[in-house]
Structure 1
Amino acid sequence: MAIDCAACPLRELELFAPMSDEELEFMKSFKTGELTAEQGTEILAEGASSTQLYTALSGMGIRYKTMEDGRRQVVGFVLPGDFVGLQSGVMGEMQHSVEATTTMKLCVFNRSDFWRLFKSQPRRAFDLTHLAAREEQMLGEALVTIGQMNGVTRVAWALYRFFQRLRALDMMKNGRVPLPYRQQDLADAVGLSLVHTNKTLTRLREAGVATWQDDFLVVHKEQELARLGNVEPNTISLRPLI
């Protein structure tokens, strides 16, 4: 059974900005259902025009582009609360693919109804603009990190950003957060070889800074991981939830 927007567990988290009663009623009408995507399911395909847009309710996924030779470049990760498919909604087709890394549950919205959001809910439309700006900010930060920083900084930056976000999503249990990705995914995302990524993770583990194994991340020295990743610690701002 689909979750009523009023009872959405994500709305209870301090990470997400509150909605007015009017906005909540609109979201109830905007949402058309829910989709469960099993691990490995392609949710959106690069170059395709999707009739549906999504918000990740639970589970994790990956955003990637496929090169002509078959290689894959990871361009981002999908965590609970992320809006997926904005490119298709605005540009007509996706510029990257989205795949479920774990079983995911997603709220579904019809693309054909997209304009109604802009027409009748200007604040919600601004929230979408906010999300697009945040994604641009993160891509810029990633580009600087990949283009100008060494391997340790790249990996530490990625791990700390994961840790910050997953903790804010109340997903930290017994001092660890779930991180069900492959080392190859991280390597692709930060522009390192798998060997270099593995050696860097080993270095961080042996230094007692952070351990990523068995699909979980434990940060032993948060301030040090933030320093190594060139990230301001404990800084994560309020974000809209669509």
Structure 2
Amino acid sequence: MATKCRNCPLRQRDLFIDLSSDEVDFMQKFKAGELTIDPGTPILMEGSNAPQLFTVLSGMGIRDKMLENGERQVISFVFPGDFVGLQAGLMGKMGHSVEARTRMKLCVFDRSEFWSFFKSHPGRAFDITWLAAIEEHFLGETVATLGQRTATQALAWALIKVFQRGDALGLVENNQMKLPYTQRDLADALGLSLVHTNKTLAKLREAQLVSWSSGTLHVMQPDALAELGMTSWDTLRPRPLM
């Protein structure tokens, strides 16, 4: 049975801005259903013009882009609460692909109703703008990482960002969280070779900052890891939930 918007488990998290009763009712009307998919299933394909938009209710995925020479750039990792498909909704087609890395449950929204946000719910339209802006901000930070952080700093930055998000979603217990990604994914996100990534992770492990094995990320010293990555271990700013 599909989850009612009023009973959405994500609304209980401090990471998300609470919705008014009117906004919850509107989202329930906008929601077309739910979709459960297995790991490895494409959600959206690069170049596609999908008629649906999605909010991740549970599970994790990955955004990536394939280049003509066969190389891959990982754009970002997908977490519960992320709004997926906005690019196609505004530009007509996807510039990257989105794939499930765990079993995922998605709230499905009909893109044909998308513009009603801007007509009848300007507050929700602002939320969409906010999500687009925060994604642009994150990509800017990623570009700075690719260009200016050393490999050690870049890995520290990436791992603390993932860990912060997991912690805000209640996915961290005893400083550990399940992480369904691979070292290749991390390397492709940071523009590093797999060998360099592996050696750098070993250095972080030897420094007793972080370990990542058997699908579990263990951050022993969050503040120190954040400092190494030239960022901070702060509570994340609450974000809209679509």
Give the TM-score category using the shorter length: over 0.9
Q: Which residue of 2 aligns with 1:62?
A: 62
Counterpart CA distance in 1 for 2:103 and 2:71 is: 24
Unaligned runs of 5+ in 1: none
Q: Which residue of 1 aligns with 2:16?
A: 16
Counterpart CA distance in 2 for 1:70 and 1:44 is: 19
Counterpart CA distance in 1 for 2:172 and 2:222 is: 14
Tell me by how many angstroms 1:197 deviates: 0.5
Tell me by how many angstroms 1:105 deviates: 0.6
Tell me by how many angstroms 1:236 deviates: 1.2
The aligned amino acid for 2:130 is H
Tell me by how many angstroms 1:173 deviates: 2.1
For 1:91-126, what per-residue CA distance to the aligned partner results, in whole angstroms no more than 9, with x for missing partners?
010010000011111000011110111111100010
**What TM-score do the two structures reach when normalised by structure 2?**
0.98
Give the stretch that moved more between structures: 203-212 or 173-182: 173-182
- 3-state SS of paired residue (2:17): coil
Tell me by how many angstroms 1:215 deviates: 1.1
Counterpart CA distance in 2 for 1:176 and 1:109 is: 33
Tell me by how many angstroms 1:223 deviates: 1.1
Tell me by how many angstroms 1:69 deviates: 2.1
Superposed, 1:24-39 pairs within 5 Å as 24-39=24-39
Counterpart CA distance in 1 for 2:217 and 2:59 is: 16
**What TM-score do the two structures reach when normalised by structure 1?**
0.98
The aligned amino acid for 1:177 is M
Counterpart CA distance in 1 for 2:157 and 2:119 is: 39
Unaligned runs of 5+ in 2: none
- 3-state SS of paired residue (1:74): strand
Q: Which residue of 1 aligns with 2:192?
A: 192
- 3-state SS of paired residue (2:77): strand
Tell me by how many angstroms 1:188 deviates: 0.3
Counterpart CA distance in 2 for 1:96 and 1:185 is: 15
For 1:161-201, what per-residue CA distance to the aligned partner results, in whole angstroms no more than 9, with x for missing partners?
00111000011123311211010000000110000000111
The aligned amino acid for 1:70 is G
Counterpart CA distance in 2 for 1:208 and 1:4 is: 43
The aligned amino acid for 2:229 is G
What value does the CA root-mean-square deviation take over the aligned residues? Answer: 0.8
For 1:37-71, what per-residue CA distance to the aligned partner results, in whole angstroms no more than 9, with x for missing partners?
11111110111100000001111000011111222
Counterpart CA distance in 2 for 1:233 and 1:42 is: 32
Counterpart CA distance in 2 for 1:196 and 1:107 is: 38
Q: Which residue of 2 aligns with 1:42?
A: 42
Give me the identity figure in percent: 56
The aligned amino acid for 2:221 is K
- 3-state SS of paired residue (1:211): strand
